[in-house]
Amino acid sequence: MRVLITICVLFCAILLKAGGEENERKQYIEQWKEIAIQQMYLHGIPASITLAQGILESGNGKSTLSRQANNHFGIKCHGWDGPGVFKDDDKKNECFRKYRNVEDSFIDHSEFLKKSRYQFLYELDIKDYKSWAKGLKKAGYATDPSYAKRLIKIIEDNDLDRYDEELLVSVDKVKKSAEPRYESKRFVNPSDREVIDLTKQRDVNVHPNAIKFVRAKPGDDIHLIAEDMDMAPWQISRYNDLPHHHRFLGGEIVFIQPKRKKASATYHLAGPGETLRNISQHYGVKLKKLEQYNNLSADNPLSKNLKVLLRKPQS
């Protein structure tokens, strides 16, 4: 009889714990969903992935690291000038970043995923959370061999992918940080594969490589053009291979659709001081493709009359 009572007590305790964790998770999602959507709007990272990583890494915001350091993504101190806390992880006494508040942790997570080893993720469809989860594991975000499966399970158990669909953001509900914000509500279509409904704020032209573009005005930055074109800043940044803080010169071509993998021409003879970046914008060819075709880096000046391939070389 005692054994039966003990089993019943243990079973009830397990049920209570599971119910408590479920409520904590719901509260976490409700509390942080808007900043996850906002980061998707600014940087092109699926909100479902951001939320799932936050849930997993922070234990629904209840882990020691999240409570003591506001660190919800398990990001370590490598290359970090700010304060840190120490705890055992893969190695003993490792340093983890400490933030002023949780919002800063979400913002830094987006910045962290700009590292070169994660760049291939941004070629994925923003709604393809499974490929994003597998890609994060492949890039070495976590050492847990089941990391991708755990992220996918969290997303599917909690229907987090619904936040990848509705990019309706009310930014004024999220605490402002140092990076630019827009206190407006707008729908943004993040998919490279779908047509963007453009406004008439600027004249839209079509490049010879069949890509829509506008001309920059003096003093334009990525956020101003995105605002005018009803697009997300990350789209302008990605389509033009530019950092988010870039300022344009008047008359510059600004693509509002993804560039192509090749040009109609086979090659280009470099002029004095030209770079692959210049040539990429001139021909409407993805910069990383030119780097691959020519085994060159983006911003190094090219030798005069260097033959720059504009399509994949024949093997």
Give me the DSSP letters along 222-255.
Answer: HHHHHHHTT--HHHHHHHTT--TT-BPPTT-EEE
In this structure, are strands 253-255 and 267-269 parallel, antiparallel, or unpaired?
Answer: unpaired
Higher pLDDT, 184 or 100: 100
Closest C-alpha among 132, 178, 181, 237 to residue 34: 181
pLDDT for 176 equals 41
Mean pLDDT of the chain: 82
**Ordered domains of the chain (ranges, CATH):** 23-69+103-165 (1.10.530.10), 267-309 (3.10.350)
* Per-residue pLDDT band at 208 (split at 50, 70, 90): very high
Closest C-alpha among 228, 139, 307, 306 to residue 236: 228
Question: Are 274 and 283 spatial neighbours (Cβ–Cβ below 8 Å)?
Answer: no
Question: Are 223 and 189 spatial neighbours (Cβ–Cβ below 8 Å)?
Answer: no
Work out the angle at residue 117's Cα, subtended by the Cα atoms of residues 113 and 119, and round it to the nearest 5 degrees: 65
Q: Which of 6-15, 60-69, 213-222, 256-265 has the lowest mean pLDDT?
A: 6-15
> Mean pLDDT, to the nearest integer, of 266-270?
91
pLDDT for 4 equals 57
Please count the other Cβ atoms lying within 10 Å of the Cβ belonging to residue 168: 11
- Read off the amino acid at residue 65: L
Question: Are 224 and 249 spatial neighbours (Cβ–Cβ below 8 Å)?
Answer: no
The two structure tokens encoding residue 103: 């919002």
CA separation for the pair 204, 96 (Å, rounded): 46
pLDDT for 3 equals 53
Distance of CA 305 to the CA centre of its chain: 37
Share of the chain above pLDDT 90, in %: 51
CA separation for the pair 29, 91 (Å, rounded): 30
Assess whether pLDDT exceeds 50 at residue 201: yes
CA separation for the pair 34, 12 (Å, rounded): 35
Q: What is the pLDDT of residues 162-182, one digit of tens each?
A: 998 855 443 334 434 334 333
Assess whether pLDDT exceeds 80 at residue 209: yes
Q: Which of 55-69, 147-161, 191-205 has the lowest mean pLDDT?
A: 191-205
Task: Specify the pTM.
Answer: 0.62
Q: Residues 32-50, buried b or exposed e (16+ Cβ, 10 A)? A: bbbbbbbbbbbbbbbbbbb
CA separation for the pair 279, 275 (Å, rounded): 6
Q: What is the pLDDT of residues 212-235, one digit of tens each?
A: 999 999 889 999 998 888 888 888
Using CA of residue 270, residue 255, residue 300, residue 308, what is the dihedral sign? negative
